[in-house]
Amino acid sequence: MAKVTTGTGDAGYTGLLGSERVAKYDPRPDTFGTVDEATSALGLARATTQDPKVKEIIYRIQNELYLLMGELATTPENYEKMGLRMTADHVQWLEQVEESLKQEVEIPNNLLFLVIRLMGPHLTWHVLLFAGLSVWP
């Protein structure tokens, strides 16, 4: 079985992409850990949907969240070398997908149905919102 731990974080510090090490309670690893939770929630949604378009959209969002986690884990002096940067194009694509989906999906007025229908995406949104709040001063 492949080893999934390095053992270098046992002293309470973890490595970033670069030579810098930060405390495990530092906002950076906490934030990319939270984004990782959102990625996992999206993975569950992707695994359970039967809609190929939805699977494709979720897959792309997951990949972009991996990029975001990479950027969060990269020290500023290594941004260019690592090439892990979110751009305005990423945000624009997500906004376009959101608008497109709003045109395709009618949200009913039945509150129970609405809560059940939105629970998965809400969980993902909540986790991502928490991630943003974790690093915002």
Using CB atoms within 10 A of its CB, is residue 32 exposed (0-12), middle (13-18) or buried (19+)? buried
Can you give the pLDDT of all 137 residues of the chain as single tens digits?
666 666 665 678 888 887 888 888 888 888 888 888 889 888 988 998 898 998 999 999 999 999 889 888 888 888 888 887 888 898 889 888 888 887 887 766 655 555 555 555 555 555 555 555 555 44
The residue extents of the domains of the chain are 13-135
Tell me the β-bridge partners of 14. Answer: 22
Nearest to 135 by CA among 17, 28, 33: 28
CA distance 85 to 72: 9
CATH superfamily, domain 13-135, is Cobalamin adenosyltransferase-like (1.20.1200.10)
pLDDT at 130: 55
Element (H, E) at 13: strand 13-15
What is the phi-psi region of residue 12: left when phi exceeds 0, alpha when psi lies from -120 to 50, beta otherwise?
left
pLDDT at 128: 58
pLDDT at 98: 83
**Model pTM score:** 0.70
pLDDT at 31: 86
pLDDT at 59: 95
Nearest to 121 by CA among 31, 34, 38, 36: 38
Nearest to 15 by CA among 6, 39, 66: 6
pLDDT at 136: 47
CA distance 128 to 118: 15
Which residues neighbour 124 within 8 Å (Cβ) at sequence distance 6 or greater?
38, 41, 42, 45
CA distance 35 to 27: 12
pLDDT at 21: 86
